[in-house]
A = this chain, B = another copy of it.
Amino acid sequence: MPRPATPAAEDCLKTVYAAGEWSDEKITLSKLAQALGVSPSTASEAVRKLTDAGLLRHERYGGVELTEAGRLQALGVVRRHRLIETFLVADLGYSWDEVHEEAEVLEHAVSDRMLDRLDRRLGHPERDPHGDPIPRPDGTVPRPGAHSLADLPEGAAGSVARISDADPEVLRYFADLGIGLDLHVRVVKRREFAGTTVVRLGEGPGGREVDLGDPAVAAVWVLPAAR
């Protein structure tokens, strides 16, 4: 995975990648700008440059996509980000709501050598503290077939495979509730009108039921139980 020039470019590629990771639509300029925290004009300029560099594909007034070269570079950034998050939790005692911000900065600063050392020391992990898959150096990505809890029908059950790290507050909330990776969950009842879902946590008699709001439900991804 070659290194692009600048942190801003890396963030741009990473964001485009992230947009296509769990669904696959091209991201719009305005969403890109918003995700990057810059004005639309700035995002437009950045996209133009990366398109010229052959890392993005983009037709005027259309959505933005990674080229194959761009995808490789994005994977590099994502790999760095997620390995760093894993390291911070596993070795430095960070909690999972603290790591994202730190990784956001460090992903632009660690060398290949350091990344190798981290990877080895962590035992070549396949997912980060939030369950996001860590791209391998060869550009492949471990892909658990997870679905958002929001898309599961009533009665469906599985184990938590991923929790979106977008909002640290949500992560702290889940930690309080005892919701973490690999926890067994079941959709008990949907209350569409109220915007909440009753979810059973844990298997057997030790389980509890909680009432989760839509945003929380959408943040949880589940690997359906084999049946």
B98 touches A113 (CB 8 A): yes
A109 touches B105 (CB 8 A): yes
* Segment of A39-47, A114-122, A142-150 engaged in the interface with chain B: A114-122
Is A106 positioned at the interface, with any CB of B under 8 Å from its CB? yes
Interface SS of A by simple majority: helix
B106 touches A93 (CB 8 A): no
A113 touches B102 (CB 8 A): yes
A101 / chain B contacts, CB cutoff of 8 Å: 111
Is A110 positioned at the interface, with any CB of B under 8 Å from its CB? yes
In the bound complex, CA of A98 to CA of B105 (Å): 22
In the bound complex, CA of A226 to CA of B88 (Å): 43
In the bound complex, CA of A46 to CA of B101 (Å): 29
In the bound complex, CA of A55 to CA of B205 (Å): 64
Is A194 positioned at the interface, with any CB of B under 8 Å from its CB? no
**Residue in chain B with minimal CB distance to A92:** B117
A residues at B contact (CB < 8 Å): 88, 91-94, 98, 101-102, 105-106, 108-111, 113-114, 117-118, 121
Return the 6 tightest CB-CB contacts between A and B, nearest first: A109-B109, A92-B117, A105-B109, A106-B109, A102-B111, A102-B114
